Amino acid sequence: MDMEPHILVVDDDREIRSLLDRFLRKHGFRVSAAADGQTMRRALDEWKIDLVVLDLMLPGEGGINLCRELREHSDLPVIMLTALGEETDRVVGLEVGADDYVAKPFSPRELLARIRAVLRRTQGDSRPRADSGQAVLRFSGWSFDPTSRQLRAPDGVVISLSAGEYDLLMAFATHPNRVLSRDQLLDLTRGRFAGPFDRSIDIQVSRLRRKLREDPKNPKLIQTVRGGGYIFATAVANDASTDT
């Protein structure tokens, strides 16, 4: 039983909590539920949670603030539940670190598929790029170890990466000094940021730039190519033969 992924559903709607509890248990998950941020924190302290399904429109502390708080100290995957048609909310959710979103009213089967996809990405069970022999990549004083999923800054500080940031950095670091269109980035990240609006890749690039301590007005590493996409404008050294 302990091997079953543990999902935390955070939603103030009792019917949604009950529905997802029954549905996800039926499909092999353990499920805990919370109606607000305080209960969510208690559940996270008490249990080893593998993924959070987080409603954006919670009373009191909203889902955006809770997701931002979570991202300050954790890479725990988060799928946001958002109101249908609220594109701005979905954009903000991705900006603060959500791994995916599902619009209400939603199909439980769609949510199940997205949960499984996010868990595959974050638990490493379908990640050939992060096998035990993957080389450490070094660029502009940074080191990036795909095996441990660890990014280390030039000053030695370890920077945490969400699943999306990891996939995007892998795409850039394995294709340096090459213009990559948004469509190519979607393909290289296996559709990681595919969504109904074109800004999804741009938002994730903005988040990764912040992790790389880029000046948002004059980024040096991930540069925008007008009409083309982005370029990772630095040499990348493959450090497979040296110790890290």
14-26 per-position pLDDT tens digit? 999 999 999 999 9
Given the candidates 1.20.1250.20, 3.30.1540.20, 1.10.10.10, 1.10.287.130, the CATH classification of the domain at 129-238 is 1.10.10.10
pLDDT at 236 over 80: yes
Is the pLDDT score of 196 beyond 80? no
Q: What is the spatial distance between Cα 45 and Cα 54, in angstroms, rounded to a whole number?
A: 16
Cβ pair 118, 83 in contact under 8 A: no
Beta bridge partners of 215: none
What percent of the chain stands above pLDDT 70?
84
Residue 136 has pLDDT above 50, yes or no: yes
Q: For the residues 120-149, what does the mean pLDDT come to?
A: 72
Query: Is the pLDDT assigned to residue 193 strictly greater than 60?
Result: no
According to the CATH classification, is domain 6-123 in 3.40.50.2300?
yes
Q: What is the pLDDT of residues 152-188, one digit of tens each?
A: 999 999 998 877 788 899 999 999 999 998 878 877 7
| pLDDT, mean of residues 90-94 | 72
Per domain, the residue ranges of the chain are 6-123, 129-238
Amino acid 127: pLDDT: 38
CA distance 240 to 180: 25
Q: Give the strand pairing for 78-83 and 51-55.
A: parallel
Contact indicator for 83, 64 with CB cutoff of 8 Å: no
Q: pLDDT category, 31, cuts 50, 70, 90?
A: very high
Tell me the whole-structure pTM to 2 decimals. 0.57
Written as one letter, the residue type at 73 is H
Structure tokens at 31: 């499920």
More confident residue, 77 or 88: 77
Whether residue 212 contacts residue 233, with contact meaning beta carbons closer than 8 Å, is answered with: no
DSSP tag of 242? S
Q: Mean pLDDT highest for which of 81-90, 91-100, 121-130?
A: 91-100
Beta-carbon contacts of residue 194 (< 8 Å; ≥ 6 apart):
186, 200
Beta carbons within 10 angstroms of residue 100's beta carbon: 25
For the sheet with 137-139, list strands across it. 158-159, 150-152, 142-145, 137-139, 237-238
Checking DSSP bridges between strand 229-232 and strand 51-55, what pairing results, if any? Answer: unpaired
Give the model's pLDDT for residue 3: 64
